[in-house]
Amino acid sequence: MLNDEELLRYSRQILMPRFDIAGQAKLKSARVLVVGAGGLGCPVALYLGAAGIGHMTLVDDDQIEIANLQRQIAFEQSDLGESKAEHLADRVRRINPDVSVTTLTERLEGDELQRQVNSATLVVDCTDNFNTRFALNRACVAARVPLVSGAAIRGEGQLSVYDVRDDISPCYHCLYSEQGNEDLTCSEAGVIGPLVGMIGASQAMEAVKVITGVGKPLIGRLLILDVWQMEWREMKLARDPECPVCKSRESA
């Protein structure tokens, strides 16, 4: 149930007929795992915290550096050297003290990764390397937990939702092979700041849609943004029936 202060805080969301109190109650009961507290993770965590997610776990083992400040909007000059996850968690709590926020400041791997995914309602992938993305995907498929995935580099971003509870949904591995994909980081290729904000905010929107059941999530669809032309393209995504990660979902 929502108390009087919550009804006031979230009134602009509750006013929407399709959203209503029922949608807000679903956000309040949700547990979201956000992996990565950088350019994508900052807007994801801030928007989801403001929206009233009940519990959020933020994962990042990095410290704030001066080169982060151009795009990682939760941080400022005086925060240099601090833990990204812990500082972002503090920002979320200051925006909305009703949100329970925990942090993990070590790399999430193996059994601990699966344990965290198992306890989540939804996972948001805000990472910048393929190994972590593939590991998150495997854990989400095994736990049948939806995964909201985003990426941004240079002036290009992409966004999709992978949810093997839905028969039409591919998993991340259906699209990308673990062989031959090399990480290209912002430190090597560059990235424009507002782009990560746009993709991160879109990831937060997709998370809200999946959790509340309001709207049509990006399941089976990939959005690609060219920010220099301000053009969005949509690609239809199909399952790979021979995908070694998700082909046995029917028996899960």
pLDDT over 70 (residue 233): yes
Question: In the chain, what percentage of residues exceed pLDDT 90?
Answer: 89
Local confidence band at 252 (pLDDT 50, 70, 90 cut-offs):
very low
pLDDT for 250 equals 56
Local confidence band at 33 (pLDDT 50, 70, 90 cut-offs):
very high
pLDDT for 186 equals 73
pLDDT for 167 equals 87
pLDDT for 1 equals 85
pLDDT over 90 (residue 184): no
Q: For residue range 91-124, what is the model confidence (pLDDT) as tens digits?
A: 999 999 999 999 999 999 999 999 999 999 999 9
Tell me how crowded residue 194 is: count the other CB atoms within 10 A of its CB: 12
Tell me the whole-structure pTM to 2 decimals.
Answer: 0.95
Token pair belonging to 113? 């990764």
Residue 116 and residue 33 in contact, taking contact as beta carbons nearer than 8 Å:
yes
Q: Tell me phi and psi for residue 103, to 5 degrees.
A: -125, 150
What CA–CA distances, in Å, run from 250 to 59, 110, 118?
30, 24, 18
Question: In the chain, what percentage of residues exceed pLDDT 70?
Answer: 96
Local confidence band at 251 (pLDDT 50, 70, 90 cut-offs):
very low
The stretch 40-57 carries a mean pLDDT of 98
Nearest to 40 by CA among 71, 66, 63: 71
Local confidence band at 159 (pLDDT 50, 70, 90 cut-offs):
very high
Token pair belonging to 179? 């062989």
Token pair belonging to 65? 């550096």
Structural domains of the chain, with CATH: 4-251 (3.40.50.720)
The stretch 142-163 carries a mean pLDDT of 97
pLDDT over 90 (residue 179): no
The stretch 186-206 carries a mean pLDDT of 93
The stretch 218-223 carries a mean pLDDT of 97
Mean pLDDT of the chain: 94
